[in-house]
Structure 1
C-alpha cells in the first residue's frame, strides 16, 4: 500500500529465545492489522463464469468484457491423425482468430459436441500457435474422442484461457485474483 511501511517478518533463525518471540506475536498481529499490512496476506481467488459456446465467439477477458478478438471454427471433419492413423478417426478442425497478435494473444477451449451439446472431447487452442497475415490467424488441431460418429459440431468457449495465474492454494502471498473457468472437458454440457 502506498505510504504504509510494513515490517519484514522476523528472522526465525535469530538467537532470540522462542518464548520472547511468542510473547510478542499477539501485539505484532494487532499492529499489522491496524496498519493495514494484514491485507497483504489476504488471498482471494475468483473464477469467471463460463461463457456461451458457439461456432464463432467474441473472446472475453476474466471479467467478461470482449477483447476485440473473434475466434471461429472454420470447418471440421472426421479423419485419422496422420501421425497415429491406427487409432482411427479423430476430429480434425480448423480455427481462426481475427484481431489477435501474432506472438501473444488469447486462447479458447474447443470442444467436439454431440447433438445435445455435451462435450465429447476438448482442448485449448492458442492464437499464438496459429499463423496468417493481418491479424487473421488460422490453425488446425485434432480431438480424439471415444465415439467420433457422435460428433455433431465443434464449438468454442469464449473465455480467454491464456492467463491462469497462481491460486491462493499455490501461493498465499502472491496468488489470488481472477481466474478463467476450469477448462471444459468430456461430459460438460455446453
Structure 2
C-alpha cells in the first residue's frame, strides 16, 4: 500500500480557508447571557457578565397622564441617570414598571445615548404605558447591556455567534 498523494498546494489552500473564516462554519456558537438582578440602581454588565464601569439608576417615578395622550389615563413617568458613560456610544438597559411582587407590568429599553449630560452623569426621562397603573409599586432597571446584540449564527454563520444579552424583559416576567 502506498500513501495517498497530497497535491503540493493543498496545505496552503487549507490554511487560507481556515484564516478566511470558512472554518467557522463548523464552530459558530451563540451564547445568551443570564438576566441580571433587577434593581432601582444597577451596575451595567456586558453579555459576558463583566461590569462596564457604568451604573444606571431610577432617580424617581410617578403616575400621571402622558401629555401627548392624556385621554389614556395614567402612565408611568420616570427619570433615570447613567454614571460612568464615556463620550462615545454607551449602554442601554431594560426599564420595567413592576408590582409589589416584582412582576413586570410594562418594559422598554432606555439608552444612555438618549440622555443629556449634566455634570458627570447622563440624565433622562421616559414613559411606560401599563394596563393597570394602580398596581405599579416601582420602576426597576435590569443590568444587562442591551445596546448591541450582534448577529447570531442562524442569521450569519460566518460572522455571527458569540455572547448575546438575554431576551428583553416583558410583561409578566418576575424580576
Task: Compute the TM-score of the two structures, normalised by the length of structure 1.
Answer: 0.80
Which of 28, 42, 55 is the aligned partner of 1:43?
28
SS at match of 1:5: helix
Q: Which runs of 5+ in 1 are unaligned?
A: 7-31
Moved over 4 A (4+): none
Q: Is the 8 A contact 2:84 2:121 kept in 1?
A: yes
Q: Which runs of 5+ in 2 are unaligned?
A: 1-13
In 2, distance between residues paired with 1:139 and 1:167? 31
In 2, distance between residues paired with 1:61 and 1:129? 19
Q: Is 1:112 the counterpart of 2:97 in the alignment?
A: yes
Q: Which residue of the partner structure matches residue 63 of structure 2? A: 78
In 1, distance between residues paired with 2:86 and 2:104? 29
Deviations 1:3-45 (A, max 9, x none): 9211xxxxxxxxxxxxxxxxxxxxxxxxx8xx9x763213211
Q: Is 1:126 the counterpart of 2:111 in the alignment?
A: yes
- What's the C-alpha RMSD, in Å, of the aligned pairs? 1.9
Task: Compute the TM-score of the two structures, normalised by the length of structure 2.
Answer: 0.87
Judging by fraction of residues, say which structure has more strand.
2
In 2, distance between residues paired with 1:127 and 1:161? 11
SS at match of 1:169: coil
Deviations 1:110-154 (A, max 9, x none): 000000000000000000000123430000000000000000000
In 2, distance between residues paired with 1:130 and 1:58? 17
Per-residue deviation, 1:83: 0.8
Q: Is 1:169 the counterpart of 2:150 in the alignment?
A: no
Q: Which residue of the partner structure matches residue 5 of structure 1? A: 16
Matches within 5 A, 1:18-29: none
Q: With CA pairs under 8 Å and 6+ residues apart, which has the higher RCO, 1 or 2?
A: 2
Matches within 5 A, 1:83-162: 83-162=68-147
